[in-house]
Structure 1
Amino acid sequence: MRLVSIGECMIEMSGAGENLWRSGFAGDTFNTAWYARATLPAGSVDYVTCVGTDPVSQQMVDFMGAGGIGTDHVMRHPTRVAGLYMITLKDGERSFTYWRDQAAARCLADDPAALTAAVNGADLVYFSGITLGILTADRRVALLESLQGQRVAFDPNLRPRLWPDTETMCEAIMQAAHVSEIALPSYEDEADFFGDADPEATLKRYADAGATEIVVKNGGGDMLVLADGQTHLIEPGPKAQPVDTTGAGDSFNGAYFSARLQGLPAPEAARYAHGIAKQVIGHKGALMPMDQIAKDAA
């Protein structure tokens, strides 16, 4: 089994006390790779991105490798560096301040041949709306073309600040949906930008775009799962009090992919992934240490 995740890893700065900050590395598609690696007992998880040649970029690559995530397809840019963000928390909910205009990851699709080689032989290739949002229009096309013939999973992860306008964002999201077998939209985001009246409308829109397996996440509420032509309502159970919701959706995605690659039916995989996400929101920061995740008790 081989999962390939494509996107941007950034320097994460999270609060460690008054006027104190703790640094780490995170980013939506990297977080997903992290939780897939943590819950996938066999097989490989590779990450595809572009970083700089500076010492911090090397530390980032070393961190990936130490976590068991493959870095053979991490490209290097001679002048750019990694992007950075800072997390601000209030009642467990997070907000972000970003510095990413010169991030090397914006060049991850500059070499289409390298992208094609990176995904060759994968059992599943994953990317997100953030992956699209950091790229120029022509590089978005190059990325989607490199995915032709692959089994593709996509999380829209709608972030309007990355886009010139919401119309461009929504158009690009649906273009990505057309090349994806698996879609993992979040209903609240989809309602805000596509006007979906309910999760059923979100599911139908992605099914109409061509996705055959869809998980409509719902902020801890009931989820909808479409798989094998059947729609299932997944009740997540009692809510957990969040300490930090950073990475919740990413951990869900990673655990879901892991479960599906191991042959678990989609509804059971969604329940399992929700259990992993409930653990993650009780931990500060995007990445919960792998050895602290209760994988069998999700």
Structure 2
Amino acid sequence: MTQSFLAVGECMVEMAQTEGGLYRRGFAGDTFNTAWYARRLLPGDWSVAYGSAIGTDAISDEMAAFFEAEGLDISALARIEGRSPGLYMISLDRGERSFSYWRSHSAARLLADDAERLQGMLEDRDVVHFSGITLAILAPEARIRLCNALREARARGARVCFDTNLRPRLWEGAEAMRQGILMGAAAADIVLPSFDEDSELFGDAAADDTITRYSGQGAQEVVVKDGAGALTIWTEEGGKTVLSPEPVEPVDTTAAGDSFAAGWLAARAMGEGPEEAGRRAMALAAKVIGAHGALVPQIFEGGEA
């Protein structure tokens, strides 16, 4: 029987810096990146879909065609007249990235405006993934609508994952971001925070503080990333595990957390335990940051990453 993975959020036109000061156009976005990697990690009896909204212009047509060419189900992709995808540009300095965005007219900002369409998008899903960016781009009432729909999907049996992925510039302010992140976490079974971001927003002194907050919101799994530092995993079934990653010299840290999320979710969906899932997710993210751009197809050449 086919099982269904759905990622919800915004895919944008990506302009990624290459050698010689040139830029390469692609399509990327945090939850889309996770879906792209999940499609390569999950077996063929899994459907991987992307839930969002795009426009009716030529670049939207190209984006939808790209999704399909990459093996993604686009039945959860809405078309909105008069809108278009957002665009972002990546600049690199010794492997660290900075972003410039053009997204004020992005169709994805309206992905949760139609309650009936939202309900259909989430129906009959086995795994649903969304992020703090997914929430941040929405109007406040649409955030509530999405989180309510995710809670209903969870009650129907979907396994819901929330990557906190904090982008302060997208929110109305720090308090709105705190409230939004807690609301998102309360809709999820799995929360994937980054300690450096959460410590700044919530004042966490240690990963245990991060785990306590999200487990208190109802999460059954909390996986605290800390860049090149230790990975701290907590699950209801197994308690806490701390893993140390192998040292990696980053070329481009774009999609490190997005690929990690795909590695974790795919491993857990296939029955791997928390420690093995953590190791697989870290190994995938290490390969991704060793290359330019968000999507790195060459790491799958010759077999599974």
Give me the TM-score of the superposition, normalised by structure 2.
0.94
Distance 1:229 1:292 in 2: 32
Distance 1:292 1:252 in 2: 15
Aligned to 1:38: 40
Residue type of the alignment partner of 1:38? R
Residue type of the alignment partner of 1:178? A
Distance 2:303 2:211 in 1: 28
Distance 1:55 1:290 in 2: 28
Aligned to 2:50: 47
Moved over 4 A (4+): 293-296
Post-superposition offset of 1:235: 2.1
1:213 to 221, 231, 256: 221
Instruction: Please state if 1:144 is matched with 2:172.
Output: no
Asked if the contact 1:91–1:243 (Cα under 8 Å) also holds between the matched residues in 2, the reply is: yes
Instruction: Please state if 1:73 is matched with 2:81.
Output: no
Aligned to 2:136: 133
Post-superposition offset of 1:146: 1.4
Post-superposition offset of 1:162: 0.3
Give me the TM-score of the superposition, normalised by structure 1.
0.96
Any stretches of 5+ residues in structure 2 without a counterpart?
none
Post-superposition offset of 1:294: 6.8
Residues 1-298 of structure 1 correspond to what in structure 2 (within 5 A)?
A: 1-42=3-44, 43-147=46-150, 148-150=152-154, 151-289=159-297, 292=300, 296=304
Q: Secondary structure at the match of 1:85?
A: strand
Distance 1:219 1:107 in 2: 32
Residue type of the alignment partner of 2:135? L
Post-superposition offset of 1:203: 0.7
Asked if the contact 1:232–1:267 (Cα under 8 Å) also holds between the matched residues in 2, the reply is: no
> Structure 2 vs 1, CA of residues 137 and 167 (structure 1 numbering), >3 Å: closer, same or farther?
same
Asked if the contact 2:131–2:164 (Cα under 8 Å) also holds between the matched residues in 1, the reply is: yes
Residue type of the alignment partner of 1:50? A
Distance 2:161 2:302 in 1: 25
Any stretches of 5+ residues in structure 1 without a counterpart?
none
Asked if the contact 2:287–2:299 (Cα under 8 Å) also holds between the matched residues in 1, the reply is: no
Asked if the contact 1:224–1:231 (Cα under 8 Å) also holds between the matched residues in 2, the reply is: no
Post-superposition offset of 1:293: 5.6
Distance 1:291 1:272 in 2: 14
Q: How many residues align?
A: 297
Residue type of the alignment partner of 1:188? D
Aligned residues: CA RMSD? 1.4
Give per-residue Cα distances to partners, 1:177-219, cap 9 Å, x unaligned.
1111110001110001110001110011101111011111111
Q: Secondary structure at the match of 2:143?
A: helix
Q: Secondary structure at the match of 1:220?
A: coil
Distance 1:163 1:179 in 2: 19
> Structure 2 vs 1, CA of residues 263 and 192 (structure 1 numbering), >3 Å: closer, same or farther?
same
Post-superposition offset of 1:111: 1.0
Post-superposition offset of 1:252: 0.4
Post-superposition offset of 1:290: 6.2
Post-superposition offset of 1:286: 0.4
